[in-house]
Amino acid sequence: MRVLGQSDFTIVALQEQIVHRSNYSLVLSASVANMSNTSWVYVNGDFVPAENARISPFDRGFLFGQAAYEVTAVYNGKLIDFEGHLARLSRTLAGIEIAEPDVDLASLHQEIMTRNNLTEGLIYLQVTGGVHGPRDFYGPEELTPGLFMFATHKTLIGDLAQDGITAISIEDTRWKRRDMKTTQLLSQTLAYREARRAGAHTAIMHEDGFVTEAASANTWIVGADETLVTRDLSRALLPGITRRTLADLLRQNGLRVEERAYTLEEMFAANEAFISSTGVVIAPILSIDQRPIGTGQPGPVTRQVQQIYYDYLGADTGVIDWL
Ligand SMILES: Cc1ncc(COP(=O)(O)O)c(C=O)c1O
C-alpha cells in the first residue's frame, strides 16, 4: 500500500480538528452523544470504552457512504434472528463490493453483550469500505473492511407497542437499491425530521402511489377479511428480518398473509395497520397525516400479531396488561 505524504492532504480546514496518528491515518472521534448506556464498543479489532472510540475520516463509509449495517435485537440475553441478520449483511456486502470481515461476528456479539451486561436491547454493527488512501472513488479491487459495533440497552416491548404511533406520509426519495441495508440514510433522516415537525413518530414512504415502507420499518395493513398484507420483496424495500419471521409465524398460526404492493389510499382505508422492525418490534399505526386508521386505536388483529411475536421472543405476555 502506498504511504501518503502530507502534501496529499488538501483538506486544510479539517486538519485543525483531526489528530495525526501517523502521516497516513487521521482520526476523528466517533460521536458518543446519546451513548450513555454504552460503555464498551468494538472498533477495528479492539474493544474500547465508547469515549475512546476513533475512526478515520478517510474511511470509505465516511467519504462515500460505502458501508453496510445491521441491528440485532437481544431479548432475555439471546440474540434474536441472528442468522437472518448475518445473511442479509453478507448479501449487502456482496452488493456494495466489500469483503466479509475476517472475524467471528457471533463471538463479537456475545462479547459485546457480556462486556455491556446487555440482556435486552440492540446491537448495532457497521461494516465500512475501510481506509484506502485519502479519496479515490475506485479504491483497490479488494476492499478490506472496517468494523464498528456498539450495544444499547432498550426495552423492546415498550410504550410504542402499547400506545401505538402516529405517522405522516411522504414521497419515497431514497435510492433504487433499498433492498440493501446500507448507511445511505439521508432520505430517512429527512423523513423523520419532517414527521417530528408534524407531531408524528414516523413517515410512511410511498412511490408512484404505492407504499414502500416506513422510514425504518416494514409496514402491514389488515384488510376487511382480516388478511394481513405486507409489500412483496423487490429492490423497492428492505427485506426486514422481523417481517420475514413474522410472516412465517402468522402463517403457522393459521392467519392469512398476502405479500403484495398496496397504495397509500388502501392503507388509509385499512381496518388496522402496523409496522415491524428489530428496534420497535411491532407498533400499531394509529394515524397517517392525522387521518385515523380504522378506529385510530390499536386493533384486535394487531394485538393478536403482537401476542404471536412476543410469544416467539419468549416474553411473559401474562404480565403485559394491555395485550
Ligand atoms: C427502511 C427499513 N425497512 C425495514 C426495516 C425493518 O427491518 P428489520 O426487521 O430487519 O429490523 C428497517 C430497519 O431498520 C429499515 O431501516
> How does pLDDT run across 139-187, given as a tens digit for each residue?
898 999 999 999 999 999 999 999 999 999 999 988 899 999 998 988 8
Give me the sheet containing 40-43, strands edge to edge: 46-49, 40-43, 146-153, 121-128, 67-75, 78-79
CA 5–ligand 1 middle distance (angstroms): 42
C-alpha 174/C-alpha 212 separation (Å) is: 10
Q: Dihedral sign for Cα 256, 260, 229, 224, please.
A: negative
Residues 121 and 216 in one domain: no
Ligand 1, CB cutoff 6 Å, lining residues: 213, 216-218, 238, 240-243, 276-278
Q: Hey, is 69 helix, strand or coil?
A: strand
C-alpha 150/C-alpha 292 separation (Å) is: 37
CA 20–ligand 1 middle distance (angstroms): 37
Residue 73 sits in a domain of what CATH number? 3.30.470.10
pLDDT (mean) for 198-206: 97
C-alpha cell at 179: 433492498
Per the structure, the count of domains in the chain is 2
Q: Which atom of ligand 1 is nearest to the CA of 243?
A: 9
C-alpha cell at 93: 456486502
Residues 138 and 194 in one domain: no
List the domain range (segments joined by +) for residue 227: 159-319
Domain end, chosen from 153, 186, 220, is at: 153
Nearest Cα residue to atom 14 of ligand 1: 216
Residues 143 and 180 in one domain: no
CA 240–ligand 1 middle distance (angstroms): 5
CB 145 within 8 A of CB 119: no
Residues 177 and 299 in one domain: yes
C-alpha 245/C-alpha 83 separation (Å) is: 11
pLDDT (mean) for 91-119: 96
Nearest CA among 201, 150, 202 for reference residue 31: 150
Percent above pLDDT 90 for the chain:
82
- pTM of this prediction? 0.83
Beta pairing partners, 211 = 206
Residues 58 and 100 in one domain: yes
Residue 213 covered by a domain: yes
pLDDT (mean) for 38-59: 94
pLDDT at 43 over 90: yes
Residues 33 and 80 in one domain: yes
Residue 273 sits in a domain of what CATH number? 3.20.10.10
Q: Mean pLDDT for the chain?
A: 89
Nearest CA among 310, 283, 323, 275 for reference residue 75: 310
Residues 132 and 173 in one domain: no
Q: Hey, is 41 helix, strand or coil?
A: strand
Helix (H) or strand (E) holding 161, with range, is helix 159-163
Residues 181 and 57 in one domain: no
Q: Which atom of ligand 1 is nearest to the CA of 181?
A: 16
CA 110–ligand 1 middle distance (angstroms): 22
pLDDT (mean) for 99-108: 97
Residue 1 covered by a domain: no
Residues 204 and 68 in one domain: no
Identify the burial level of 274 via C-beta atoms within 10 angstroms of its C-beta, where 0-12 means exposed, 13-18 middle and 19 or more buried.
buried
Residues 132 and 203 in one domain: no
Nearest Cα residue to atom 16 of ligand 1: 216
Residues 287 and 313 in one domain: yes
CB 191 within 8 A of CB 179: no
Q: Which atom of ligand 1 is nearest to the CA of 238?
A: 3
Mutate to test the pocket of ligand 1, among 277, 278, 305 (most ligand atoms within 8 A of CB): 277
C-alpha 78/C-alpha 198 separation (Å) is: 37
Percent above pLDDT 70 for the chain:
88
C-alpha 158/C-alpha 153 separation (Å) is: 12
Residues 109 and 218 in one domain: no
Strand locations in the chain (E): 19-20, 26-29, 40-43, 46-49, 54-55, 67-75, 78-79, 121-128, 146-153, 165-171, 202-207, 210-214, 218-222, 228-230, 257-259, 272-277, 281-288, 291-292
Domain end, chosen from 103, 132, 153, is at: 153
The confidence band for 138, taking pLDDT boundaries of 50, 70 and 90, is confident
